[in-house]
Structure 1
């Protein structure tokens, strides 16, 4: 079983609480701000890295609780762009941990497919080291056809960076004539975000007692239910998550009403954009809406295709890196083997390790040692 897919036997009180909550509305999408790893490590007089390891373990348990509850999508704030401002040692530790865990995922593809787990990466991948960036692409491609549950990992992510990237894509498209200014609507910007494939989070949980979103899913969580708890992330239990779901159920009607209102507002924006286009160009008439939809569909299709090509290019890069590592390892083993000199003389047998790349030099060393041995 993959370390990402843990199984637990529920106690009778836990099972009963799960069944009671499942009678009410369950969030489809849960977002997590995993705060408190460093404080947890400090509290237990451990290195910061151990706090992040404990935090990952908690994430695996939360994923198991979500499966039991019927929550099909989880987005985890794994690494903020702001985290790169921390000490070099901590940043390298975080990146190393991420790389190790992604390697585990790559070795457990069959098991993830069995459970239908699809892993997506959201964030500015250009900020990640080459090898980690290539690993993320391979994980995305490997699990893309799994459709039972979804795990979105926010790596090198901030909401401001995400929105900036979306606006940049639209601005470039306008300058190239692929879009018109009136095509830019909130709905179009949403389709340009890293999370375009996901529904908006229904519930956002933040641990450690902080009551802010820290630049996480600012656009997507405008109509989400927020739940803040004082417990540190590694200490989060199933009861905290069940409490958060109960909190969501109490406010579910408000969330639904707000989203319906937002949908009506988005529809109005697009209608006004089409009317503005008709006023600017009376000849377009009723075809203005159709023309806009065609432009937008082509633009989004092109954006998706370019992102797909990036993933495939990175995946190919990962294979090349692993091939080079394998060849390097074999070369080292070969050099190590060729550098062993076996000498048999009157004093018995000796095996001496020498670092010799030139075979002729190796032979001279062996002859010299034979003379000394005899």
Structure 2
């Protein structure tokens, strides 16, 4: 009892309420069918920083913290796959300073997720970094490869970190692989169908994309998971900038998704 009272004294009231809300919502949501694959377009870090008169680095750093929080709650719910748009190939057009800064933040943030006792260990998750990895700095490329190798046999859940990525790049890579197989005599045009095509994508053996969330109020997909989106994907555009997209905003969306799915069945 004494330890509980001490914890209550030191726990900020708002954080305590948010933790209780999360626990309640997780228990409610887990009573029904949970979406198996959720994608996030993490938009608005720079605008959030400008709005709060902070350095751009603060926005990107908090953006990765938001991803970690949402990944954690997805794992608690039992979501099997999370895909996050961490860096677009188009973002290389930004200043060298900002690009280098994002690379460093990604390096430290992913290392934190994989550190002993953190999310990878707690939930036995596999991490896949998806995109044109050859364009990354050597040290970051090496770290990503090591992390993927270390976690490749984990079966609890999967995090697809799309970095640097676009759907057009992924689809082009798939086409090139198909052409290579055809040239090698391992494939004929008549054998090419959706399943064969999907096996050549960068994101393979993936669950159907149930929910796609894009923050910052912008209503476009920005070349993210265009192939994986289908007629049943629930696309949610929210007004909040990514660092403001908290767990307590996200969980009611999952509950609404479950209600909508029940209404359709």
When normalised by structure 1's length, the TM-score is 0.62
For the residues of structure 1 that align with 2:137 and 2:179, how far apart are their CA atoms?
28
Aligned to 2:164: 156
> Which structure: greater helix fraction?
1
Higher relative contact order (CA 8 A, sep 6+): 2
CA-atom RMSD in angstroms: 2.2
Aligned to 1:75: 83
Aligned to 1:169: 177
* Contact 2:64–2:106 under 8 Å retained in 1: no
* Contact 1:113–1:143 under 8 Å retained in 2: no
Aligned to 2:212: 204
Aligned to 1:239: 248
Change (3 A) 1:20 1:42: same
Q: Over residues 20-42 of structure 1, what are the superposed CA-to-partner deviations in whole Å (9 max), with x where a residue is unaligned?
A: 33333210111111111001100
Higher mean C-alpha displacement, 72-81 vs 9-18 = 9-18
* Contact 2:39–2:84 under 8 Å retained in 1: yes
Q: Which of these two proteins has the greater Rg computed from alpha carbons?
A: 1
For the residues of structure 2 that align with 1:68 and 1:103, how far apart are their CA atoms?
21
Q: Over residues 91-124 of structure 1, what are the superposed CA-to-partner deviations in whole Å (9 max), with x where a residue is unaligned?
A: 1111111222344456538873353121111111
Tell me, which stretches of 5 or more residues in structure 2 are unaligned?
Answer: 1-14
For the residues of structure 2 that align with 1:31 and 1:40, how far apart are their CA atoms?
21
1:19 to partner: Cα distance = 2.6
For the residues of structure 1 that align with 2:142 and 2:188, how far apart are their CA atoms?
35
Tell me, which stretches of 5 or more residues in structure 1 are unaligned?
Answer: 1-7, 257-374
Q: Over residues 157-196 of structure 1, what are the superposed CA-to-partner deviations in whole Å (9 max), with x where a residue is unaligned?
A: 0000000000011112112222111111111111111111
Q: Number of aligned pairs?
A: 249
